[in-house]
Each structure stands twice: as structure tokens, then as C-alpha cells.
Amino acid sequence: MQYSWSAPTLPILLSKNAPIEVTTNQAEWLESILMIGACFGLPITMFLVDSIGRKKSLITSATTTMLAWIVIAVAPRVEYIFVARFFAGMAGDMAFVAAPMYIAEIADQKIRGFLSSLIYIMMLTGVLTMYCVAPFVPLWGPCLLGIVINCISLIVFPFQPDSPYYLLYKNEPEEAKAALRKLRSTDNVQEEFINISVAIERQKGEKGRFMDLFLISSNRKALVIMVILNSSQHLSSISVMLMNLHSILEEAGSFYVAASTGAIIFSATMIVSAMSASLAIDNFGRKVLLCCSGVVAGLSLMVMAVYFTLKNNGVDVLKASWLPLVMIILYAASFKFGIGLVPVVLTAELFPAKVKAFGMTISDLSYVGFSVITIEIYHSLRHAFGIQVPFYVFSVSCFLTVLFTILYIPETKGKTLEEIQMILKKTNSTVTENSKITQFDSTHSQVYRNEGFVEC
């Protein structure tokens, strides 16, 4: 909701009857200040997810966001909104790093992809909610809704268990076992507890410095995958679409639906697509969804580029003016089916515990950074060569993402987090139960005996 707040709200703030006086220059800053806050929040996020944990980081994020909504709702001047948006950006960054980590570490491997994909579904729900509510209510209306949502989170979430991985990483085995029992709704968690303990012990034996992201080959491969995937999301034009959809439809000359209606259809389509992908991701795999998504999104953008090329060269395209709207809807469906959803799943799966905070934060930085870069690419190429040129660029980016997926990204469907690390290290990912227990016994023999695992 914070991400999409500016699109329907800024026209209200720039109108004659605006509740707060805002200049055009200030309105532009209200858009960018959120992403600036996200950039400044990166080191704080990096520190908190490892020092206080994933769960407490999410609680901190929800609290900060709620306070930001309160300030926006009662702000007497635009400067107050600047501050609120800045801290909302920091909180959003923290949530987008901590939430995938938390979900990946509590979820059973069979449904980990589905649960991780819910993050983007909720993001899209926030976008659609803002598009549907903000144009028709006072400025404080969507703020009140945001406050209520965060209140619900702050009431319910503190009662949820913390990540067993994080608890074992902090040498709290009893708390980790209790969390596992609550998450699995059974007392029979010994085997999973052993597996997690072995994985944590192996990862603790590895170095956890920032430079190890680049010096260790498996970490470096994970980082390359996530930086390219996060960058490709924006190089596939999603930020351009979300922030310029009205002007794109108007320039296309589509007269079938109003631009505001097209925006609602666009966001609703993405939600339906993301829901479908969340159900398919653990059945068909991450690579299949990425490839299908990239091909269809690339073709959609290519058709739009050709349409604008013909239109700008004097060809009568009136009879085909429905085409851009259809292609934008097809793009929305295909993008969120893979490129726009799979990265948030992979980002929590690929990095080992010792450098997970570093890796996910840098991945998030590439996501934030390229959201700004692609907007600049779009406006620069559009003004210099015409609107068709950036669409050609974005289309080629989609096809390159497909090629990168096929050649470089491993399939993580159905794999434990430990098995994924073995794949990245190019070693045998199949570890027998006896070897796991033997390794666990050699490193935790006293705990092993005390907990009654000898018979197991």
C-alpha cells in the first residue's frame, strides 16, 4: 500500500482543493523518498535480522509502518509526509528481507514455494486496494486501513513461533524444538531437528564475513543469481508499467476502457496470476515458471514495441488500438507467473545461514536500485527515440532472463535448504540419514544423548 500510495494520491494533493499544499517538485520527491528510505534501511536490516531475529524484525517493520500511516493521516504539512514515507521505505525493506527468510526457515519443503510466494500476493493485494480506495475517499482513508492491517499483524504475529533455524543458530535448542513442535503440530520432530542442527553446524563452520559472499564460490553463485533475477524484474518493465500505465494507454490511443479502469484490471490480473503461480511453483518448479513467464512477457512487450513503431511512423493502427491493452493484461499475467514471483522464493533458499542477511540485503539493493534505473532508461529513451525503443529493450531483457535461467539457475523444488547448498557447492546432495546422525553425534554428542536421540 505504501508502494502504490503516490499513484492515486498525488493527483489529489496537486488539485486546487488539496488538504495539504504540495508543489509539483515536492510531489516527485514523495514518490522517490520511499525508495531512498529503503536504501538507507539496508544496513539496519542487515544488522537486525541476525541480531534480534526474523520474527522481531517483522514486528519492528509493522510497528514502523503503522506509525508512518498515522503521521500521513494527520500531517499538517508535506514535510511530515516526507519523514513518514522515508521511514516507511526503511520498514518495507526490512519486511522484504525478513519475511522470505522467516517463511523459508519455518516452512516444510513441500510447500515452501507456495508460502514464500504469498509475500508478493499480499503486495499486489495492497496495490489493488490502494487503487480501488484512495481515489474515492479522503486522504486519511487509506491511512486508516493501513493502520488497521498493521494492528492486526501486531496483535497476532507475536504469538507465532520464531524460526527454528535462527534459534539453533543462536544456540537455543530447547526453544528451537518447541518452535518445531508448534509449527508441525506434532511432538515427533526429532528427525527434522537433527537435520536442521547438522545444517546449522556445517554452516557455522563456514566463514560468515561480508566478503565471503564473493570469495566462496557457492555464495557467489547464489549472489549472481539473485542480483540478476532482482534486476531483471525491473528490466522487464514492471516499475515502468506501475508508474506510467495511464500515460502508456493514452499514448497507445486505446478508447475501450479508461486509464484508471485499465490500472485496476492490470493489478487484479497480477493478483490472479500470482495466486496461480503460488499453487504451481511447488509442482512444476521454479525454472519452468521463470522460462514460461519470460517468453510470454517478452513477446507481449515486443508486440507493444512493434505497435508503437507502426503508430509513430504514420501507420493507421486505429483498428488495432485494442492490442496494447490486451498485451498489457497478458504481460501482467505472465510477469507475475514467474519473473515477478520466483525471485522472492529463491532469495530465501539460496544463501546459507551465515551470510543470508548479507546476501538478501544486497539482492534487495539490486531490486531497489534497478527500479530507479529502469524508470530513467524509459524516460531517456522515450524522449530521445520514441516510446517503442524502451519496450524493445525490456522485451530483449525478458528473453535474456530465460536464457540465464536455463543455463545457470539450479532447480530448488522439493529440496531442503541443506540440499540446495550442496547443489550450489556441486557436491552430492543426497545425504544418508546415518551420516546425518553420525555428524550430529560427533558435534553434539552430549545434547544428542540428553535428548534421547540414541535410539533414533
Distance in angstroms (rounded) separating the CA atoms of residues 65 and 443? 42
- pLDDT recorded at residue 448: 38
Which of 91-95, 97-101, 132-136, 205-209 has the lowest average pLDDT?
A: 205-209
Write out the H or E segment, with its range, that includes residue 116.
helix 112-133
Q: How far is CA 283 from CA 71, 111, 434, in A?
A: 44, 9, 29
Top-confidence residue, 170 or 434: 170
Task: Give 341's contacts (C-beta < 8 A, 6+ positions apart).
Answer: 117, 120, 274, 277, 278, 281, 289
**One-character DSSP codes across 223-251:** HHHHHHHHHHHHHTTHHHHHHHHHHHHHH
- Please give the DSSP secondary-structure letter assigned to residue 321: T
- Report pLDDT digits (tens) over 369-418: 888 788 778 878 988 898 899 999 999 999 999 999 998 888 888 777 77
Top-confidence residue, 9 or 293: 293
Q: How far is CA 244 from CA 12, 192, 213, 239, in A?
A: 17, 48, 36, 8
CB atoms within 10 A of CB 363: 29
Top-confidence residue, 28 or 62: 62
Cα 120 → chain centroid: 6
- pLDDT recorded at residue 444: 45
Top-confidence residue, 455 or 335: 335
- pLDDT recorded at residue 456: 35
- Report pLDDT digits (tens) over 69-86: 999 999 998 899 999 999
Distance in angstroms (rounded) separating the CA atoms of residues 140 and 288? 43
Phi, psi of 185 (to 5 degrees): 55, 35
**What are the chain's domains?**
1-162 (1.20.1250.20), 214-414 (1.20.1250.20), 418-450 (no CATH)
Asked whether residue 447 carries a pLDDT value surpassing 70, the answer given is: no
- pLDDT recorded at residue 451: 40
Q: How far is CA 397 from CA 172, 234, 452, in A?
A: 45, 10, 55
Top-confidence residue, 380 or 68: 68
Top-confidence residue, 431 or 303: 303
- Sequence-ordered alpha helix ranges (H) in 14-77: 24-51, 54-74
Which of 38-42, 209-213, 227-231, 382-386 has the lowest average pLDDT?
A: 209-213
- Grid coordinates representing 31 are 514518490
Q: Quick check: 128 and 264 in contact, CB under 8 A?
A: yes
Alpha-carbon radius of gyration of the chain: 23
- pLDDT recorded at residue 441: 43
Q: At which residue does the C-alpha cell 524484525 appear?
A: 57
CB atoms within 10 A of CB 279: 13
Distance in angstroms (rounded) separating the CA atoms of residues 350 and 352? 7
Band of residue 312 on the pLDDT scale cut at 50, 70, 90: confident
Nearest to 1 by CA among 90, 92, 95, 79: 92
- Report pLDDT digits (tens) over 201-224: 776 665 567 787 788 888 888 899
Distance in angstroms (rounded) separating the CA atoms of residues 32 and 14? 17
- Report pLDDT digits (tens) over 108-126: 777 777 787 788 788 888 9
Distance in angstroms (rounded) separating the CA atoms of residues 334 and 327? 10
Asked whether residue 271 carries a pLDDT value surpassing 50, the answer given is: yes
- Please give the DSSP secondary-structure letter assigned to residue 51: H
Q: What angle do CA 70, 76, 80 make, to 5 degrees?
A: 60
0.75 exceeded by pTM: no
